[in-house]
Amino acid sequence: MIKLNISTKKRNEIIDITKDIENIVQKEKIENGFLIIFVPHTTAGIIINEGADKNVRYDIIEKMKNIFPKDNNYLHLEGNSDAHIKSSLFGSSEIILIENNNMILGTWQHIFFYEGDGPRNRKIFIKIFVEK
Amino acid sequence: MIKLNISTKKRNEIIDITKDIENIVQKEKIENGFLIIFVPHTTAGIIINEGADKNVRYDIIEKMKNIFPKDNNYLHLEGNSDAHIKSSLFGSSEIILIENNNMILGTWQHIFFYEGDGPRNRKIFIKIFVEK
Amino acid sequence: MIKLNISTKKRNEIIDITKDIENIVQKEKIENGFLIIFVPHTTAGIIINEGADKNVRYDIIEKMKNIFPKDNNYLHLEGNSDAHIKSSLFGSSEIILIENNNMILGTWQHIFFYEGDGPRNRKIFIKIFVEK
């Protein structure tokens, strides 16, 4: 299992981690298999979506803030229920296929770390499984 | 494949299944691998999120009820379209890494079964894959 | 890795791909394992939900359109931010257990391809992993 450290600077942030994951895959020289990316934090998640235009990330954050406002008469007193809900919806993990030493991603797909209650120092776990 | 039976008591319910899954992992004595939790029901799902404060579960349920009300001029006549939509968003499965006989979960992460159209007698499937 | 081609006809569409996946599994004759379905498109996703009544699919599409309208002062100028957000929420992949040459699905569960910015010619990737 490989750990990746991520520092966020805002409350809501979507950070591109595609190259970090790519570097890990290429070091391991995997012909065939898959990898699991797992976030061990309850206000964060992993998103696969368009990476070319940063406005897509902006729109995801803003629209989700609009639907799940920070303050909404939540019972949980830490002021981050919105982030817990969004984390549950984006999901704590992603699974990506590997062939010939490369992740199988679409032309526009990037891998993102989502944080909804930053700024924080976070980590993600990556584990590669080889097909034998 | 291991089956776990779950009985829910309310229409919307989030039930902590962390210890049940933990017991399964520890019986199997897996050094390295991962497990898949799969829900075979279309108004239910699996959520990984904070387990310490029960109010987080309450906030997830209430906010999601607010966005996806039970009655909303849905065409499906069984009165549970809200639950089908939420099930599609939370997702039918989760994948969890295993190392040294333990699930890799964050400090606050618990595993939950979500039901949106209870009370029901439900089951979930757990399958462990070992890395060789 | 197996590729499946899918043509959509509307902007928002949910297409049943259960039989296509079933055919792939049965050709491969897998006793034990799992499969990963991965969509390489950023306005699409995979959903597992009820397949018996087509109105469930209709309700999912319409309610999600209502919450994430096509036009909403998004910054991304391609007019499909709504689809990018929904793709992030439904998720790019699903994982399904296989036992005795069959996918483990619940009575009402079907596997669907979701497109939020069609009509398009799309593809999905399916890879089967065998437990040894």
For the segment C58-108, what is each residue's pLDDT rounded down to a tens digit? 999 999 999 999 999 999 999 999 999 999 999 999 999 999 999 999 999
Tokens of C3: 């590729």
Tokens of A91: 């999901």
pLDDT tens figures, A38-87: 999 999 999 999 999 999 999 999 999 999 999 999 999 999 999 999 99
Q: How many CB pairs under 8 A join B and C?
A: 82
Q: Give B44 to chain A, closest Cα distance, Å.
A: 13
Tell which of C76, C82, C86, C120 to mutate to test the A interface (max A CBs under 10 Å). Answer: C76
CB-CB contact of A30 with A130 (8 Å)? yes
> Distance from CA of residue C30 to its chain's centroid?
22
Is residue C130 within 8 angstroms of chain B, CB to CB?
no
ipTM > 0.85, yes or no: yes
What's the sign of the alpha-carbon dihedral A66, A71, A73, A75? positive
Is residue C37 within 8 angstroms of chain B, CB to CB?
no
Minimum CA–CA partner of C68 in chain B: B67
Q: Which of B58, B129, B132 sits opposite A75 (nearest CB)?
A: B58
Q: How far apart are alpha carbons B81 and C60 in whole angstroms?
A: 8
pLDDT tens figures, C95-126: 999 999 999 999 999 999 999 999 999 999 99
A109 and C67 in contact by Cβ < 8 A? no
Q: How far apart are alpha carbons A90 and A88 in whole angstroms?
A: 6
Q: At residue C37, does pLDDT exceed 90?
A: yes
Tell which of B76, B82, B123 to mutate to test the C interface (max C CBs under 10 Å). Answer: B76
Q: Give A124 to chain B, closest Cα distance, Å.
A: 10
Tell which of C35, C63, C87 to mutate to test the B interface (max B CBs under 10 Å). Answer: C63
pLDDT tens figures, B1-58: 999 999 999 999 999 999 999 999 999 988 999 999 999 999 999 999 999 999 999 9
Residues of B in contact with C38 (CB under 8 A): none
- Work out the number of other CB atoms within 10 angstroms of the CB of residue A112: 24
Q: Rg of chain B's alpha carbons, rounded to an integer?
A: 16
A95 and C38 in contact by Cβ < 8 A? yes
